[in-house]
Structure 1
Amino acid sequence: MKRTNMNILKKTLILLFVGIVSLSFAQDINEAGTAFNDGNEAYKAKKYAEAVENYTTSIDMCQLIGADAADLQSKVEAQLVNALYKNSLTLYKGKKFDAAVEELEKTIKAAEVAGNDKTAKKAKAYIPKVYSSEGMGLVKAKKYDEALAAFDKALAYKEGCVNAYYGQGLAFKGKEDIDAAIKSFEAVVANGAGKAKADKTVKKAKSAGQKMLEANAAKELQIEHTQKAIDYLNKSLDFGANSANTYYMLALAYNKQKKYADAISAANTGLTIEGADQSSIQFELGKAYEGKGDSANACTAYKAVVSGPNVKAAAFQVKEVLKCK
């Protein structure tokens, strides 16, 4: 009798234990599902940070439950990737650059777990963009060293990043490190060649490089450093040969060096470019021909000076010096 009662008690306890475990399991998986649903609601409301938190909680619960929650866990992991990516973009738009990068790195890891190669690729591509944007903001604030550090981070993630090289060039320009700026702008051109998406940045780099060199050439001319000016101007032609002012300054510099043939060549090229200051270039052309001993062409050039600050000087050469007919 005692043995029978003992067996009944054991069976009762076992059934009670199984019932408790089953109830606990059901509660756990339900809670994991609830966290998943809460995450979905937050995602729909574009509350991506909240969605990430809920999805992470759900995954933690699924991992504790084990194999029985595997299907749910797979669904949550897939949606976590989307929430992380969206949240990283939100942080980026809010100019929280470091936090955005951290979230993008989490996106990559989560995408690898979920087998989402497409989003992993997008996240990897976005990281250098974030650092480049941060760098450009620092350039505008004239925090050039900090900007350069940001661009270095971008290049560490993506070798040959044209946006990073362009910003780097602007930062070096701001620091008046002309040689370094030239190398950065050249890197934009080299790495962006033949790439449609990089075309706009390549054009900006060429324009920035050309204008920087032209401006520095003008400074060198003012202090009579004619050869340095010529070097800058010739280098500027690598970035763009459509500036009449470049050829005007080349003619001016070559005249100062008495390299009249070079001055004539530069002046004639400048005259063919739309928007050229014809009178200023013609005055330098006249000086070059005069220096070369070609009075006839000098007269023609001086007579073409009809506006600007050199009109009287050109007229004097025509009437008093060359005695032009």
Structure 2
Amino acid sequence: MNMLKKSFLMIGFTLLSVGLFAQSVADAGVKYNDGNTAYNDKDYAAAVDAYTEALNMAKEAGPDADELKSKIEKQLTASYLKKGLSIYKKKDYDGAIAVLEQGYAFADERNDTKYVTKFASVIAQIRGKKGDVLRSEGKLDDAYTEYEMAIEMKPDCVKSFYGEGMVFKEKGNLEAMMEKMNEVVKYGAGNAKMEKTVNAAKANAARALLAKAAEEFNAQNFEEAGKYIDLAATYAPFDEGTMNVFNQFADQVKDVPEMTDAINKAKEVLK
């Protein structure tokens, strides 16, 4: 083959390649628009599928599709979140978590810290909700597992710490209960959105400890009873219901000298 023929052949290959890449970018653009249509129609499952296909096309098209690729990635990330939330609204916790974890991984791969944080928060919230359902069904170990996974995803997940505290309360492990309720107070204090959860943590911890104090008192273990009164007082101020529990107990033990110091000390704290 002479040099002239080789030159024409190379030009032909180049033109063909340019044409193919241009067509690939155009095809990716069409599929991207399909994704936008589905997204605007709130069909987020279809949007994820369309954007995923568009992204694969854009990757094949090479550098010419970089600008389009960036737009696709942004919309695909948002679609994962919207799809997951739409599934969550149907109470399909596992289905929602599966989609959101895909979105989390995709955002993390792209170093999209804004969406990584958002996905982590939503996944933790849903795992916490699933844990609450399991706890209400008496499946305490399964509930605890969900709470732990929520905290792994969001280390300051106040409601999951509260859920864990309630698991330990129901199991009668008051030391572990206190540890978890203290985490609720630690991370929730000063956050208006968490005020209700913080107050519930304090009330449940204090009432459990007062109940234990009464149990020890009835067994005439007065020193132990006093210890649990002291621990309960660390969750002051008490709400009205907890204060009533304390007052009833204080009235019950008022004529027992061994309990006087502990009761008076608690009353000082609760003023």
Q: TM-score, normalised by structure 1?
A: 0.68
Task: Using the TM superposition, give the Cα deviation of residue 182 of structure 1 relative to its aligned residue in structure 2, in angstroms.
Answer: 1.9
| Structure 1 match to 2:191 | 195
Partner residue, 2:244:
244
The answer for the alignment partner of 2:82 in structure 1 is 86
In 2, distance between residues paired with 1:99 and 1:234?
46
Equivalent residues in 2 for 1:72-83 (5 A)?
72-83=68-79
- SS in structure 2 at match of 1:56: helix
Which residue of structure 2 aligns with residue 48 of structure 1? 44
**2:111 and 2:230 mapped to 1: Cα distance?**
53
**Deviation sequence 1:155-206 (CA, Å, 0-9, x none):** 2233343212100011111212222112211221223233333322211101
Structure 2: state its 5+ residue gaps: none
Superposition RMSD in Å: 3.6
Residue 172 (structure 2) aligns with: 176
Deviations 1:104-145 (A, max 9, x none): 343344445666443332223333222222211211111111
- For the Cα contact (< 8 Å) 2:58–2:69, is it kept in 1? yes
Asked which structure has the greater RCO (Cα within 8 Å, sep 6+), the reply is: 2
Question: For 2:120, which of 116, 124, 139 is the aligned residue?
Answer: 124
**Residue 33 of structure 2 corresponds to residue 34 of structure 1:** no
- Structure 2: distance between partners of 1:100 and 1:15: 52
What SS does the corresponding residue of 2:257 show, helix, strand or coil?
coil
Q: Match of 1:83, as an amino acid? A: S
Q: What's the CA shift for 1:262?
A: 4.2
Instruction: Give yes or no for contact 1:28–1:65 (8 Å, CA) kept in 2.
Output: yes
User: CA 1:199–1:38 in 2, change beyond 3 Å: closer, same or farther?
Assistant: same
- 2: CA distance between counterparts of 1:181 and 1:139? 15
Partner of 2:131: 135
SS at match of 1:142: coil
Displacement of 1:225:
4.3
Instruction: Report the identity percentage.
Output: 31
Q: Between Structure 1 and Structure 2, how many residues are aligned?
A: 266
Larger radius of gyration: 1
Q: Conserved in 2, the CA contact under 8 Å of 1:166 and 1:184?
A: yes
Query: Structure 1's 52 and 264: CA in aligned 2 closer, same or farther, altered over 3 A?
Result: closer
- Give the Cα separation in 2 of the matches to 1:183 and 1:62: 51
Which amino acid in the other structure matches residue 176 of structure 1? G
Distance 1:115 1:260 in 2: 60
Q: Is the 8 A contact 1:55 1:80 kept in 2?
A: yes
User: In 1, distance between residues paired with 2:193 and 2:172?
Assistant: 29
Specify which of 56, 60, 63 is matched with residue 64 of structure 1. Answer: 60
How far, CA to CA, are the matches of 2:133 and 2:57 in structure 1?
42
Give the equivalent residue in structure 1 for 2:211. Answer: 215
Q: Which residue identity is paired with 1:184?
A: K
Unaligned ranges ≥5, structure 1:
274-325
* Rounded Cα–Cα distance in structure 2 between residues aligned with 1:85 and 1:97: 14
TM-score (norm 2): 0.80
| d(CA) in 2 for partners of 1:40, 1:19 | 31
Contact 2:162 2:180 in 1 (8 A): yes
Within 2, Cα distance between the matches of 1:36 and 1:110?
17
